[in-house]
A and B are shown apart, each in its own frame.
Chain A
């Protein structure tokens, strides 16, 4: 495939998964993993916007020290719903259900996932969960915090705890279906020659993520179920009157919810591995270390949950054990950061939009991760627990890390998924706006937390106002940056959009060896794999057009 000097568009493939069938039924009853990925893209985007609206209202309230925009009760509902939506309906599904669904079969040379019907069911179950959540929201929402701690959630809250808990329970099934599908697919459907150590690191990340999903989500399910049973049938497992211990709820809840943060970050790390390799045009340094680090994160991530409970009443002995184990779990993440950095070293770097996101990820994830180590240190956490320090930490990971990875992945694989190229200028500008807005929003929160501003409070002492105003200003900039992609991505799909060829970035990977968009069964000829994952030095792939963007 020689690179053409003509600025002419590469013609679209005549027969691809988007035009193979027509009509709403062909979408709503599809079993094609690529179409299901797009269905998910639409759903998660809607929930992301809803979660973002709640975030905006929170930041508006926090412009002033007094609680004046909304009542305290309403404020509790705002941050609860922001958390529930963003975690269960955006971060957990996003990369696996959109990018993972689309790419996992293609990257390993399979025709589809192992259980296509289960894949479609996963999307419907997700929407059912969403409807339950919306029902609760419309009727006034829930005020317990996304963590649903007993006994407030079980006994004292007057809000719509049960429908929201059931929404979380149901969303968990959707997640489990996806994870199960990925594990079986990766074990049983790799193309000839695709050995475990030839797989892209994106696959290793999704495999590790799927392990966590399978082992952890059911425990969230039982915690939420027990919560619902206590509230509805008086089966008071956490009821102190019956000898129950509310801290037990926290053990069960965090047994899932800590590994859940790795569900949210591992896929993003997988994306970053792909982007760093592609835009340095080099194999990832220490491939096996990165692959095993993903597995290590999955395993160690299950052994640290008590660090969320340092001040809750667990024994000091247990807290110490959890603190030590927490130090261990930071290590594989650090291994990855060092390996990505080593990959960049002496690479042929280009600053295409996906790369901007990947570089942003590395910096922001490092800050988030290091502050996580601080929080895992028992002595420090006693002082900063439940302050804005924690809020800043997890937003650095979840937004600075997970979301930047998601956006980077969307920008990298958009041409593959849609067959279209998007506008370079606006995509790069958005990335920068997001980076600036994000840091302005959340860096002040580290300081606020350290100075003692509690989280989940609707009013605060006046001396904290300046930093809060900076944070809100940052949030509005971040909001603008996040909305922009909607416009240029939509524009790319329009009549003036340009078609992408099979390999606009000149990258190595099975997904770049098929057309953009791919045919319904992914490949015209079943692939046979003979080279390593990032074999840039052997293959020297050329981009299939001069510019991977539209002017």
Chain B
């Protein structure tokens, strides 16, 4: 059997990238992009999280089942948020009294 050993260099590269992205997200918060503020902030967070998941957590070299599990978790989170916000975002939409 073989265990995939990640080269040390890759870990340090990811570490560096994460630090840069952290500084970036803080710096970018100074500026007001209006509705894009959230997109930029979450976008950077997603990139950082992806680096951690793929490299630190070895998902890049993992079995298809592991990848499916990761995707499944995120998908379920999306279900929960979307269907709940489907309520909050549409209160009063249909003009029915009280709802």
Contacts and interface: CB of A to CB of B under 8 A. Distances in A.
B84 A316 contact: no
Given A251-B87, A306-B87, A321-B86, A316 B96 contact: yes
A248 B65 CA distance: 33
A70 interface: no
A314 B79 contact: no
B84 A315 contact: no
A436 interface: no
Nearest to B79: A302
Interface string B82-99: 011011101111101011
Contacts of B80: 219, 255, 302
Given A187-B65, A215-B76, A315 B83 contact: no
A314 B87 contact: yes
Interface string A316-333: 111101100000000000
A215 B79 CA distance: 11
Contact of A303 (B83, B87, B88, B93): B83
A494 interface: no
B93 A315 contact: yes
A318 B90 contact: yes
A318 B65 contact: no
B79 A303 contact: yes
Contacts of A243: none
A314 B91 CA distance: 7
A461 interface: no
22 contacts: A187-B65, A215-B73, A215-B76, A247-B87, A251-B87, A255-B80, A255-B84, A302-B76, A302-B80, A305-B83, A306-B83, A313-B98, A314-B87, A314-B91, A315-B92, A315-B99, A316-B94, A317-B86, A317-B93, A319-B99, A321-B83, A322-B83
A247 to B, nearest CB: 8
Main secondary structure of the interface of A (DSSP, over half): helix
Given A316-B93, A321-B83, A322-B83, 4 more contacts: A215-B76, A302-B76, A302-B80, A315-B92
Nearest to B63: A187
Nearest to A318: B87
A263 B9 CA distance: 46
A185 to B, nearest CB: 14
B83 A317 contact: no
B65 A251 contact: no
Please indicate which of the listed interface residues A251, A255, A316, A319 has the most CB atoms of chain B within 10 Å of its own CB. A316
A272 to B, nearest CB: 27
B66 to A, nearest CB: 11
A313 B86 CA distance: 13
Contacts of A303: 79, 83
Nearest to A245: B88
Contacts of A322: 83
CB-CB nearest 10 A-B residue pairs? A318-B87, A317-B90, A315-B90, A314-B87, A315-B91, A316-B96, A316-B99, A316-B94, A251-B84, A215-B76
Interface string B55-79: 0000000000100000011001001
A315 B87 contact: yes
Interface of B: 65, 72-73, 76, 79-80, 83-84, 86-88, 90-94, 96, 98-99
A215 B71 CA distance: 12
Interface in A238-284: 247-248, 251, 255
A315 B94 contact: yes
B79 A318 contact: no
B86 A318 contact: yes
Contacts of B98: 313
Contacts of B83: 303, 305-306, 318, 321-322
Contacts of B65: 187
Contacts of A313: 98-99
Contacts of A315: 87-88, 90-94, 99
A149 to B, nearest CB: 16
Nearest to B82: A303
A215 B98 CA distance: 33
B75 to A, nearest CB: 10
A219 B77 CA distance: 10
A317 B99 CA distance: 9
Contacts of A305: 83
A315 B99 CA distance: 5
A215 B69 CA distance: 11
Nearest to B83: A303
A317 B94 contact: yes
B35 to A, nearest CB: 22
Contacts of B73: 215
Interface in A180-230: 187, 215, 219
Contacts of B84: 248, 251, 255
A200 B20 CA distance: 52
Contacts of B93: 315-317
A251 B79 CA distance: 12
B1 to A, nearest CB: 15
Nearest to A187: B65
A451 B7 CA distance: 72
A248 B72 CA distance: 24
B86 to A, nearest CB: 5
A248 B80 CA distance: 12
B97 to A, nearest CB: 10
Interface in A14-29: none
Nearest to A255: B80
A321 B89 CA distance: 13
Nearest to B86: A318
Contacts of A247: 87
A315 B80 CA distance: 16
Contacts of B91: 314-315
